[in-house]
Structure 1
Amino acid sequence: MPPCSLLSLATAVPPFVVEQADAKATARRAFNRKNLFDKLSGVFDNAEIATRHLVAPLEWYERPHGWHDRNAVYLEAAEQLFIDAATAAIEKAGLTPRDIDGVVTVSTTGIATPSLEARAASRVGFRDNVRRVPVFGLGCAGGVNGLALASRLATADPGSIWLFVTVETCSISIRLDSDDPAAVVATALFGDGAAAAVVTSGLHSLARITGSAEKLWPGTLRIMGWDVEDPGLAVVFDRAIPPFIDAELEAAAEGMCSDLGITRDEIDRFCCHPGGVKVIDAIESALQLNQGELNLEREVLRGYGNMSAPTVMFVLDRLLKQGLPDKVMMTAFGPGFTCAGLLLEAA
């Protein structure tokens, strides 16, 4: 893929902040299956998460909600998060909303038809001929895949300016009625947030995006995803995710590097989606990194939890601020089961 310029990156979070101890106490009080919760409650303490941002106050999560109520919260919160992240990214790029030629929107935690960029268009100030590409179903991999898609669209139309926005409200899928252990894990991990970036071809920038790649493993549909059920989305988390990553990531990374025409040794740093502390440990083990080398990933996880697709963008934001190494490979795992990769180079 021809090089693409990353002009800006911005993040946004909703207004409600919960300390992990308060989240644990609320969950213990509200979870229907007390024996299941007590058996698994240690995940709150071992998750290495201090705070998370939520789209609703804690008392909202203690009440039962169906699809309509959950999605109503998604629509209101996701639209505002879209506006906050998009506006900040456009301003950081030194542009106006009318300079944006196209928008790629990635979101998998609610249903919006019209899609989020259409709902937010007049408030952001997009032109009436802005091109729209909403994408659903990428899950945690959406931060990498969405930025890759926006970059390919920008390079396919030289001179065009594209905005990528990812918004996820994972917390509204928390299911206190569930007897699935994954529901307890999700309650201990999930946070909400958004991120946005502006990309184009041929300008000075924060970084150059020089290629993307992906690895999809057949027969792994039940490792990660959502089940659509009557009260709302139900998370699919297989306990095998960390050992699967430990066993498979090294070969996948080698294959993606080969597809991009580089060797693994040329990568100065991996910028990874921190899905959980065990996932970070597995990535460090699989890629033979020094323990703690993914320090920014742990920092983001501690302050925000797992926000799905935007989370890796929070990591990239910190990496850019401290100084991007010469070659960086962004990675994120998502439903499929898939690993998405994006190659960035210092400007």
Structure 2
Amino acid sequence: MELLTLFIALPVFYILFMIWKWAGARRDQECYILDYECHKPTDDRMLGTEFCGELMKRTKNLGLPEYKFLLKAIVNSGIGEQTYGPRVVFSARENNPTLLDGMSEMEEFYEDSVAKLLARTGISPSEIDVLVVNVSMLSSVPSLSARIINHYRMREDIKVFNLTGMGCSASLISVDLVRNLFKSYKNLYALVVTSESLSPNWYSGNDKSMILSNCLFRSGGCAILLTNKRALKHKAMLRLKCLVRTHNGARDDSYGCCMQMEDEQGKVGFHLGKTLPKAATRAFLDNLREMSPKILPMRELFRFTVLYLVRKMRRSSNKTGGTTKTVVNFKTGVDHFCLHTGGKAVIDGIGMSLDLNEYDLEPARMTLHRFGNTSASSLWYVLGYMEAKRRLKKADRVFMISFGAGFKCNSCLWEVVRDLGDGNVWKDCINGYPPERLENPFMAKFGWINQQEDASTFKFLE
């Protein structure tokens, strides 16, 4: 009898042991954010209304149609006058930048943000196991990642990745890279450094599809410290639940809608094509199609499926029936929406697609107004706004959505591990947001351009 009991018990214990081992392995594969630090350039780099007017005046090869287009774009952009630009424009050398200008811009960012992040977390540079750097439009030799390693004297066996050309959604690509490393290696610290170099990429031509980027993009960056150490999970800020990447580069119209290229005069710029809205919508829908089952409860998926089928049957039986869309309620699986600040139209479009209200869109709108579109680091300024407003409570779910050239749409869902509300890049101005009325200083100075057509209205050029 005892022998029989032993034969029965051994398989049971073995199964329990394997379950325990599997659960432990799964815990080791978790991806946590310990902390992050958004960069706030110095005040002497602020692009105020007056300076922007002066900057446009000295762009001599622009004609009146281009000036009008440029002013209309900045008036309708949703960007305020406290955003930051590269030092090269303040020294009036934007038409003749050097490699040193780009390198200096990046050094000013990472020497500030990475140092503050490591000091606040108490992590030594020698403890970093993985370094991922993504700056899309600056490639140097040695690489930016090598320069960071040299500056902070990181150890020789660090795993290093230097990403370029990934566009505004690059920071989530970096997080995905780290997440995959965490599946194979235990007890790691990973540092993600994300920014964009504007100094060598200021467009000095007159192609309307390229001068638009001068209005939208601003200086910024973020350093993020991640880990899969189980012992640190209670100190973490966020835990990654899932991440989905969508790439529609196989479609020619998607591939060519955002592209660095030369204009007819040989001047290099960033082309934003007319097919961009359509490409972004397609990539967004493709991404949501895969992400929705991962983040929404079964009851919401069931409700949507039933309503969709009912609407489809009604339309087939009554060709003159209504065209009311069946909308998925993402708020059943998401508490906060962290949207890429690609522009006012981007924020409005995502809000309409997801049926979001002004409270949901507020973090993205305020970030666009205060910091502008800082490319891949924009998401973290939006997250910082939510944290500064003390919106992020334990167990809340944060949905990040970003777009990038290629064309790409990347998204992920984070779970808040503990209540958040520490001071960050917003601490000096958060009490002023949202203002009762979000005034656009460019509208006050240049808004009349929208109603005028003749050349005499361009008095500011005199």
TM over 0.5: yes
Is the counterpart of residue 216 in structure 1 residue 243 in structure 2? no
**Residue 194 of structure 1: CA displacement?**
1.2
- 1:183 Cα deviation after fit: 2.5
Indicate if the aligned counterparts of 1:103 and 1:132 stay in contact, CA closer than 8 A: yes
Greater length-normalized contact order (CA 8 Å, ≥ 6 residues apart): 1
User: Once the two structures are superposed, what CA deviation does each residue of 1:244-278 show, in whole Å capped at 9, x if it has no partner?
Assistant: 54566345323223356866431222211111111
Deviation at 1:112, TM superposition (A): 1.6
Structure with the largest fraction of helix: 2
Q: Which has the larger radius of gyration?
A: 2
Structure 2 counterparts to residues 1-347 of structure 1, below 5 A: 2-15=29-42, 16-40=45-69, 41-50=71-80, 51-61=82-92, 64-65=95-96, 69-170=97-198, 172-176=200-204, 178-201=205-228, 202=230, 203=232, 204=234, 205-217=236-248, 218-219=250-251, 220-227=254-261, 233-242=268-277, 244-245=279-280, 249-250=284-285, 252-258=287-293, 264=330, 265-291=332-358, 293-321=360-388, 322-324=390-392, 326-347=396-417
In structure 2, how many angstroms separate the alpha carbons of the residues matched to 1:286 and 1:248? 13
Tell whether the 8 Å contact from 2:86 to 2:198 is kept in structure 1 after alignment.
no
**CA shift at 1:329, angstroms?**
1.5
Closer/same/farther in 2, CA of residues 131 and 247 from structure 1, 3 Å limit? closer
Kept in 1: contact 2:339–2:379 (CA 8 A) = yes
User: When you count strand as a share of all residues, which structure comes out higher?
Assistant: 1
Number of aligned positions between the proteins: 343
Question: Are 2:296 and 2:333, in contact at CA under 8 Å, matched by a contact in 1?
Answer: no
Deviation at 1:80, TM superposition (A): 2.7
In structure 1, list runs of 5 or more residues that go unmatched.
none
Unaligned runs of 5+ in 2: 1-25, 302-329, 418-462
Taking a change above 3 Å as real, the CA distance of residues 89 and 268 of structure 1, as seen in their structure-2 partners, is: same
Instruction: Note the aligned Cα RMSD (angstroms).
Output: 2.5
Once structures 1 and 2 are overlaid, which stretch shifts more, 249-258 or 260-269? 260-269
- CA gap 1:267/1:226 in 2 versus in 1, 3 angstroms: same
CA contact (8 A) 1:98 1:125 kept: yes
Structure 1 82/309 Cα, relative in aligned 2: closer, same or farther at 3 Å? same
Return the offset for 1:318: 2.3
Provide TM-score, normalisation by structure 1. Answer: 0.90
Shift of the alpha carbon at 1:42? 1.1
Q: Distance in 2 between matches of 1:36 and 1:184?
A: 12
Deviations 1:168-226 (A, max 9, x none): 123541212x2321232112112111101111112220010122111222411112132
Question: TM-score, normalised on structure 2?
Answer: 0.69
**What one-letter code is carried by the residue in structure 1 that aligns with 2:113?**
A
Q: Evaluate the alpha carbon distance shift between residue 232 and residue 209 of structure 1 in structure 2; reply closer, same or farther with a 3 A threshold.
A: farther
Q: Aligned residue for 2:426?
A: none
Match of 2:429 in 1: none
1:64 alignment partner, SS class: coil
